[in-house]
Structure 1
Amino acid sequence: MVRLNTLIPELTVSDISRSLYFYLNILSFELEYERKENKFAMLSLEDSQIMIEERNGNWETGNLIYPFGRGINFQIVVNNIDKLYTNVEVHDYPIKIELEENWYRANNKLLGQKEFLIMDPDGYLLRFAQNIGEREIAMDNI
């Protein structure tokens, strides 16, 4: 039985076959299960899970035009970002923001990540990140 996270985004996609190819082959997600009759799939990558379903009129709250998911990016934490990044490059898939190191303040700490961003075939913004540590910062620098 698949262990389900308590929050799992479900993305409406325009072409389930194209999206499955992207997520399974370019990003190395695993197919947990699918309902082909509903053009639906449950996918996972390490501890992250998403559901994708071909557009069918259900769940739509407004006009759905490309790029889908405006105003949101999904951070997906991985253990080996360099391997994933190389696989995206090998497939010659467009990279929105190249692999870089960033540090983000969380109260009195800096949390480090190596990260890059791409858009899936329907324009959902995906930010892949690998944690690289944390640093203390002086409270007077905040």
Structure 2
Amino acid sequence: MEARPLATPEEAWRIASSLRYRHIEGTVVAVVQDVETKEVLMVGHMDPIAVVLTLTTGLAHYYSTTRKRIWLKGETSGHYQIVKEFRSDCDGDAVVIKVVQIGAACHTGSRSCFESKYSLIKALKLSLRHG
């Protein structure tokens, strides 16, 4: 499947300028969903440049708050996200990106960063057992 731009550079900058970058390092929160199943795959952060790159290339780009730089999802792993839909919330400080996920979305190699339904409960039980 081939990535296609969702907007021209001018449209992308207009969209990026309309968002409110008030989260970590001046970013918006990006919730990423599988376009077909609606499964939440991951949550990332986007600055204005990541938004513009995402909209003009059709490939998901994020701002890494730890590495302090823009990164193309899949640039090292090959696990790209082909963007099919990009929406902002009513406040303009969060976006939902619907994608076709190529390979794993999570850095652990899992399809989703939210694989386990009960990971929090399991972690709590483990800490109580070993604490």
Using the size of structure 1 for normalisation, the TM-score is 0.27
Q: Which has the higher contact order (CA 8 A, sep 6+)?
A: 2
Structure holding more helix per residue: 2
Structure showing greater radius of gyration is: 1
Using the size of structure 2 for normalisation, the TM-score is 0.28
